[in-house]
Amino acid sequence: MFIVLIVLALAIFILPNLWAKWVLKRHTRGRDDYPGTGAELAEHLLRRLGVEGVSVERTEFGDHYDPESRCVRLTPDHYDGRSLTAVTVAAHEVGHAIQHHEGYAPLLARSRLVQVAQKAEKLGAILMMAAPFLFVLTRLPGGLAVVIAMAVISFGTAALVHLVTLPVEFDASFNRALPLLKEYVPPYDIPGARHVLTACAFTYVAASLASVMNLGRWLVILRR
């Protein structure tokens, strides 16, 4: 049973990320028939769709859209790349900028929750460092309830952020990026673009499952 749980955990935590990396790498071949790079497509889409005040920048810290600075950030391979992966990732991040521009409720909720989660993570760190004290506290009347409440606030908030992230990412990929890509890449590349978006989506699903499992693990530990 223990071995089965280990295999399941590895499948949830590792395989989706490995698959996503393989899929993205598979479609990184340069394409001379594409009219522009990932950054150029992102800038074009933002102008065309009237999303004002959003810039496109190069980053070394992963592709993302920053709602606070209103900036689409792309890694060098995707910023300068002229490949299916580059333009697909760029369109996805522009999808987040469109969500923000339109006031998409789940994105706004996630942005607020992230701020709460950052504080909750600090509480989680304190909770782990104070483990010996908590062991004594749980033996006192009402102590277990206090510890469980702290764990739920800390790890539960992180799990909630991951769960709210899912509809945000799926909407940016399949309701916004994919329809736009159909206008800019050849029809025979659309299955590949969908493949890239699906692979990336599975990494968020895996992160959500991992977060929920972490919360459950702590609750089991604290209830012993």
Active site residues: 93
State how far the Cα of 172 lies from the Cα of 162, in Å rounded to an integer. 15
d(CA 137, CA 145): 10
Q: Are 45 and 91 in contact (CB under 8 A)?
A: yes
DSSP letters, 46-84, are: HHHTT-TT-EEEE-SS-SEEETTTTEEEE-HHHHH--SH
| Beta-bridge partners for 65 | 72
Q: How many CB atoms lie within 10 A of CB 127?
A: 19
Decide if 145 contacts 204 (C-beta within 8 A).
no
Question: Which tokens hold the place of 80?
Answer: 């300068």
205, two tokens: 């699903």
